[in-house]
Amino acid sequence: MDLSDLQQLLGRIAGVRVVAVGDLMVDRFVHGQVARISAEGPIPVMARTGESVMLGAAGNVARNVAALGGEAALVGVIGKDAAGREAKDLIAAEPRIEGYLITDAERPTTIKTRFVSAGQQLLRVDEETTLPIGGEVESQVVRTLLDAARGAKAILLSDYGKGVVTPAVIAAARTAAEREGATLIVDSKARSFAKYGPVDVVKPNAAELAFATDLPTDTDDEIEAALARALELSDCRAVLVTRAAKGMSYALRGAAVRHRRRPPPEVFDTMGAGDTALAGLGQAFAVGAPIEDVMDLALLAAGVAIQKAGTATASADEVIEAEIVERLAPAEAKIATPDRMAREAARWRERGLKVGFTNGCFDILHRGHIAYLAQAREWCDRLIVGLNTDRSVRALKGEGRPVNDLESRAMVLAGLRSVDLVVSFDDDTPLRLIEAARPDVLVKGSDYQLDGVVGRDLVEGWGGEVRLADLVEGHSTTATIAKLARRA
């Protein structure tokens, strides 16, 4: 998709009402550090350091609708328990989500608790019932859905097999969609797509499509055969399958299958990526975008989410940024704004990576710089370099400096394997960048004293460290310029 078309599409999406209905979960993440194996058995011992909680399943779909700029109505069932109250609080904290929750005192709120260390899941514990809702609870869900769908342009049905998506709820979703002229998309983990009737789109992933059709789904040809079989076995108008790094494939009755791919981003956590894709698909369909643009938006949004930890969202700004970065050469893609730097650093920390920060003018790159940056990178998993602007270099070094302009200096630094991001700053010190990046390791040269390192108090205050890297004697930009002058 052209960048201007993407921006226009996101502008059209802003404020569009979308209903997310179905199985609602609370995703809990218990974080900690593992340093030893238990003497009681061959299991890791995790020292707990913290906990985070977020909405999952239909709740995560609603979060992603809101993140992309839409207005989400979330219809679901909770138990009369602490997790149900937690779900209400999480919804109340989201200004773009309206909660339409029905309490069922006979069933628990679905909770998935994951124990995570160094960005890796050690264990997941589920608390749930998969019995179908019924009686007055089911009737309340039907009435609530019909009411919440007023003014909606898309209805997104999340069927995780936890009992909320009953035949009556499916029928109500179809009725509401027909009444409002809304697109109805089902994210299905069911064995049979026939249960949904004539919905607009069923959206499985490749494994779920294979499960529903008893056919392989690896190659394009296999996907096309499985999609044709899925349409034979159901009354849905179209099937769209998400295929991880292989993109998406879309089969509309009576039309050729369309495949869409994008260069796969670095994958950290695929959890909830299907919810993100569903939100993007629903919003793009809601405003009548062409199918190619619908798939592109969903792929972009999911690509943002899988670079984050947990059940993550993708904002409109992040989607635009991802499209811009994808068009850049690898070195150019490392040159970031302070806002992007802050988001990248936060994502790296979520993944258990140690973030480092250093800064300088780096005017004429020489052997000393290379050795310095290589050593700094050894102390961290990701290294951010703050780079003085041309004005601030002149303020520090005097007239005639820098020899190379900011763009040139940034590109050369970004071409180094040891450097992960380059961010320019115009202030006299990089203090504001340090505050935004919140590095775990702050690095300066050994010509500094620890007390003289800008940002030391901040970094040590949040538990980080300051390290002084060795300098290669006889190598500096000033010495290089002097040597060139003598030769001239």
Active site residues: 275
The DSSP element (H or E) to which 176 belongs, if any, is: helix 167-180
Tokens of 382: 């990701």
Maximum Cα–Cα distance across the chain: 92
In sequence order, the 6+-apart residues with CB closer than 8 A to the CB of 159 are 22, 23, 165, 186, 187, 188, 189, 190
Q: In what order do the strands lie in the sheet with 355-360?
A: 335-336, 421-425, 382-388, 355-360, 441-445, 465-469
Exposure class string for 32-63: b at 16+ Cβ within 10 A, else e: beeeeeeeeeeeeebeeeeeebbbbbbbbbbb
CA–CA separation, 388 and 2 (whole Å): 33
**In whole angstroms, what separates CA 285 from the centre of its chain?**
21
CA–CA separation, 471 and 465 (whole Å): 19
CA–CA separation, 65 and 137 (whole Å): 26
- Report residue 285: phi and psi, to 5°: -60, -35
**In whole angstroms, what separates CA 198 from the centre of its chain?**
32
**285 and 154 Cβ atoms separated by less than 8 Å:** yes
